[in-house]
A and B are shown apart, each in its own frame.
Chain A
Amino acid sequence: MKKYYNLRLFGDKISFLVNRKALMTFLLLAVASAGVFVISTGTGEMKISPIKVVQVFFGGGSDMERLVIQSFRLPRIIVALMVGMALAAAGGILQGIIRNPLASPDIIGITGGASVAVVAFLAFFSDKNNALTVSINWMPLAAFAGAAIVAFLVYFLAYKDGVSPVRLVLIGIGLSSLMKAMTTLMMVFGPIYQASQANIWITGTVYGSNWDNVAILVPWTLVFLVLAYVLARNVNIQELGDDIAMGAGSTVQKYRFLLLMVSTALIGGAVAFGGGIGFVGLMAPHMARRLVGSAFGALLPASALIGGILVMAADLIGRTLFSPLEIPAGVFTASIGAPYFIYLLFKTRNA
């Protein structure tokens, strides 16, 4: 079988070179995501068979099953899927524009900015009895604002006749450390009860997600995923280096800014509802690269699906392994992610 398929419609107006293997891999990953989605929906205090779960999706099942799935499990699992997809796609974009396989949302400080914002939110809006003086529903907005502010800070501090990948990553690492320090500072000085709340959030959890969250996160994530896909060929050309990209006629700085904004929007949305779930943005693009190669048009969707699977699985383990105790999903992504990161460092050292 040929490796590539020429997709051409309307006399070349729409034309793509389709990598058959990447397409097959994508379809398999889509099936796997659907599988994890259904299994996760059926698992918990009340076990529901996968067939029953699918029946419930199409309006069947008993009242009890419908209640458990629709009210409790489904919003949470959809949020997990979206958070994973967003973080993984953003990580893939960042690794492409920074031209470094170790780049990720955590490392360049964007997630850190969200953490500071959340801790600050919890500290400033608590009264003496540790009750929040404003609605907890504002917390995602605070997280998003924190992520966005740090992303802009990184960009403008790195700016010098345009932004070079090295400056971007160095400034990012610097700000990331600063954000960690500020988070710690505020947790130490803030009320003790809120510190533990904040800690759970920083580790990352999709606990308590509801349909309102889904209604915001799903369209937000999907729009920016599509936008990232439209910009894919600009990631490809930037990965060859600024000189090559400019020589080939790309307006490198414009697209670098746009791509950074798209990844910030994705990360912002993800941390707002999922907290600081770490390592997904680092691992998922790597695993995808192994499977489909580094052409971004194939890498992005594969990476997104792997990210979705990782977070859904981490959440599934977190809420069932020590049930009824809930372990934040971020604990499990970190426990796979940290060794993976060390493995990557080790591998690039020998390369």
Chain B
Amino acid sequence: MTAGQAIATKDLTLSYGDTIIINELDLEIPKGEITVFIGGNGCGKSTLLRSIARLLKPKSGAVLLEGEAIAKLSTKDVARKMAILPQSPSAPEGLTVLQLVKQGRYPYQTWLKQWSTEDELKVRNALKATGMEELKDRTVDSLSGGQRQRAWIAMTLAQDTDTILLDEPTTYLDMTHQIEILDLLFELNEKEKRTIVMVLHDLNLSCRYAHNIVAIKDQKVFAQGKPEHVINCGLVKNVFGMECEVTIDPLFGTPLCIPYGKGRCIIKGQGFQG
């Protein structure tokens, strides 16, 4: 294994009961890049992410974090290297942003040492990076969806890990806030060289932000690589079962997928006729 990989899976098989979700998967996730898992509903992309984060025990095989089997490391050691933000987390009523972000320091604390100078510094940096300094004394439940998600990201940042995993960090957010969150993650990757692995639903935004796309289908990786190399009509047809046209995003030059379907067609004679 080279130094270029943050995470790898070896012969990884995941299942819920007897249902196999991911079968004998060998996957390498490059260090310092943004990797996005895509795939249809129920294809196992979230399951894969959860298993990488050790939230789900594999049926067989292993997840390697910086070359070491994750199951053999102590959970606190893993927590100092890799943070996970699950889908739509919820905070108890009345918890303030600062109290939430502070809990990202859990793997560094003991019961007597709960607020070291370093804890304070990392929490302050996390609040600053996410633009949450002004809101730190507000309660999490009083924030808007986008702010709330930023608060949770701040908590994972306070964990001070090289790798951050996020399961659909933009779900339930309006378009403005989706871009805001993805821009924030992109910046974290650019400035601090953090490895970011996430599950996203929006294929076009995935193409824009990801260095590396992993398309999952039928318990396997269907394709992996730079979006401009792997995303095409054939892939979308295969992975999502959807007819589309792939063109170039006029602003970013990344692949842009335009699905066919019904709906009002106002270009005469050019609508897809099936």
User: A residues within 8 Å of B by Cβ?
Assistant: 3-4, 6-8, 12-17, 96, 99, 101, 230-233, 236-237, 239-241, 243-244, 246-251, 289-290, 293-295
Contacts and interface: CB of A to CB of B under 8 A. Distances in A.
A101 B94 CA distance: 12
Contacts of B111: 230-233
Interface string B158-185: 0100000000000000000000000000
Contact of B79 (A4, A16, A241, A249): A249
A8 B117 contact: yes
B112 interface: yes
Decide if the interface of chain B is mainly helix, strand, loop or mixed. mixed
A248 B104 contact: yes
Interface in B24-67: 50, 53-55
Decide if the interface of chain A is mainly helix, strand, loop or mixed. mixed
Contacts of A6: 115, 120
The range of chain B's interface size is 35 or more
Contact of A8 (B98, B115, B155): B115
A95 B55 CA distance: 23
B84 A233 contact: no
A14 B112 contact: yes
B49 to A, nearest CB: 11
B113 A14 contact: yes
Nearest to A9: B112
Interface stretch (B5-13, B85-93, B220-228, B254-262): B85-93
B92 A17 contact: no
A289 B93 contact: yes
Interface in B62-110: 75-80, 83-86, 89-96, 98-100, 102-104, 106-107, 109
A118 to B, nearest CB: 34
A319 B76 CA distance: 53
A3 B75 contact: no
Given A15-B115, A16-B115, A241 B89 contact: yes
B94 A249 contact: no
Given A15-B115, A247-B84, A248-B104, A295 B95 contact: yes
B245 interface: no
